[in-house]
Amino acid sequence: TSLSCLRMFHPRSFFSSRYLFVSAGGSVLAVFTMGIYSTLLFTSTLAFVLLVCCVDHSCIHTWAFVMQMLWQTFWHLLIQYREYYLHEPVIIRLFLAVSTLMLLTQRITSVSLDLQEKRVVLTPSKRQTCVTLLPLINYILNFTTLLGGPLDSYGQFITLMEGINLTSPPSPLGVVFLKLMQVLMLEWVRFYLVFFLKHLIHDFNPGILYGILSTWCLGLVLRIQYYSHWKISECLNNAAGFGFWEDSSGDYFSKWSGLSDGDFWTTEASICMSQFARRWNATTASWLRRLVYARHKHFPLLMCFGFSLWWHGLHLGHFVGFFTWAATVKADHHIHRNLLPNITPTQRKIYTFVNWINTQMIVTCIVIAVEFRNSSGLRLLSKTYIGLFPLVNIILHMLLIKKQKQKQM
CA-CA-CA-CA dihedral for 199, 203, 208, 212, to nearest 10: 10
**DSSP category for residue 86:** S
87 three-class SS? coil
Residue 203 CA to residue 196 CA, distance in Å, equals: 11
The number of beta carbons lying within 10 Å of the beta carbon of residue 207 is 9
Total residues found in the chain within this entry:
409
**DSSP category for residue 147:** T
DSSP letter for each residue of 158-200: HHHHHT-SSSPPPP-HHHHHHHHHHHHHHHHHHHHHHHHHHHH
**3-state DSSP helix/strand/coil % of the chain, to nearest 5:** 75, 0, 25
Q: Are 69 and 77 in contact (CB under 8 A)?
A: no
Catalytic residue among 142, 237, 238, 281: 281
Closest CA to 371 of 214, 221, 196: 221
Catalytic residue among 312, 333, 334, 336: 312
Closest CA to 268 of 255, 284, 279: 279
Centroid of chain to Cα 259: 12
**374 is known as an active-site residue:** no
Q: Are 71 and 44 in contact (CB under 8 A)?
A: yes
Bond prior to 345 in cis (omega within 30° of 0): no
**10 is known as an active-site residue:** no
Residue 14 exposed, middle or buried by CB count within 10 Å (0-12, 13-18, 19+):
buried
Q: Supply the residues annotated as catalytic.
A: 281, 312
